[in-house]
Structure 1
Amino acid sequence: MDITLILLIIGLISIILSFFFGNSSGGDGDDIENISISLHQETNQLKKRLRAVEEELMIGVNPIGKILPAKNKPVHEIIINQILSLHAQGYSIAEIAKRSSLSTEQVLEVLQARGVSI
C-alpha cells in the first residue's frame, strides 16, 4: 500500500472518531460565559463604588452655601439630589440637615425651590 493511502485512511478514521469523542469543549464555553458574567457584574459594582467616591470628593471640594441669589453660593447639585432622595424616603427636615451638613433653613429652601410640599 502507498503511504498516502494509509495516511488518508488514518485521517478519515480520526475525523469519524472525533464526532463521537471530541465534544468536550461545550463545558469550557459555559465556564467562560460564567466567568465573563461575573467579571461584568464585578466591574459594574466597582463603577458604582467609584461614582459614590467621586461624588463624596466633589462634595468636599465645592463650597456649600445658601440658595439665596444675593450670595450666589448655590448648594451643589449632588446635595440637592441627596436632600430630595432623603425627603422622598420619609426623613425629617432635621435628619436631612444632619445628613447633608446643611442647616434646616437651607434644606427647607432647597425643598421649596424644587417645588416639594413640606
Structure 2
Amino acid sequence: MEILLMGLLGFSILLFFLSFFQKDRYAAIEKEVEDLSMTILQENYQMKKRLRVLEEELMMDSEPSIKRSASVKKPIHEVVRNQVIALYQQGIPLEQIAKQSALTKSDVQHIISTL
C-alpha cells in the first residue's frame, strides 16, 4: 500500500513539473485576438478621422448655399410623396404622417392637396 502511495505521489510530482514545460495552447489565440482588437481600433479611429474631415468639407461647401437658399424649400422626393399619399389613403392622421415621413404638417397637407 505504501508503494502505491509513493508511486502516485511521484507520478503527481512528475506531472506537476511537466505542466511547467508544456506549451500554452491559448497564448497564441490570445495574441491573435489582441492583435485583431488593436487592428479594429486603429481602423475605427482612422475611419472616424476621415469622416470628420469629410463632414468638415461638406459643411464648408454647403454654407454659401444655405445662406442663398434659406427661403427656398428643397423638393420632396417622389418616394416620400408616394409614402405620404399611401398613408393618407390608409386613414392615418396628418400629424402621424408628418412624423413618419420627417416632413412638416404643411408639406403633408400640400402633397395631399395635389391629389
TM-score of the aligned structures, taking structure 1 as reference length: 0.38
Bigger proportion of residues as helix: 2
Larger RCO, structures 1/2 (Cα 8 Å, 6+ apart): 2
